Amino acid sequence: MENSRFGRRDRLMQEERHDTYKDWGKLPEPTLCGTCGSLFQNGRWSWDKPPVKANVAVCPACQRIADGYPAGQVEISGEFLRDHRDDILNLIKNREGMEKEERPLERIMKISDTGDRISITTTGVHVARRIGEALSRAYQGDFSYQYGEADKSIRVSWCR
Ligand SMILES: [Zn+2]
pLDDT digits (tens, 9 = 90+) for 22-51: 666 678 999 999 999 999 999 999 999 988
**What's the confidence (pLDDT) of residue 24?**
63
Ligand 1 centre and the CA of 138: distance in Å?
31
62 C-alpha to center of ligand 1: Å?
4
Crossing angle of helices 125-139/85-102, nearest 10°? 140
Q: What type of residue sits at position 129? A: R
Strand-pairing partners, residue 77, are 117, 159
Q: Residue 20 has what pLDDT? A: 64
Q: What are phi and psi of 119, to 5 degrees?
A: -115, 130
Report the separation in Å between the CA atom of 66 and the middle of ligand 1, taken as the mean of its atom positions. Answer: 10
Instruction: Give the integer Cα–Cα distance in Å for 77 and 157.
Output: 8
45 C-alpha to center of ligand 1: Å? 10
Per residue in 98-135, pLDDT (tens digit) is: 999 999 999 999 999 998 899 999 999 999 999 999 99
Calculate how far, in angstroms, residue 65's C-alpha sits from the geometric centre of ligand 1.
9
Q: What is the pLDDT of residue 109?
A: 97
pLDDT-derived band at 3 (thresholds 50, 70, 90) equals very low
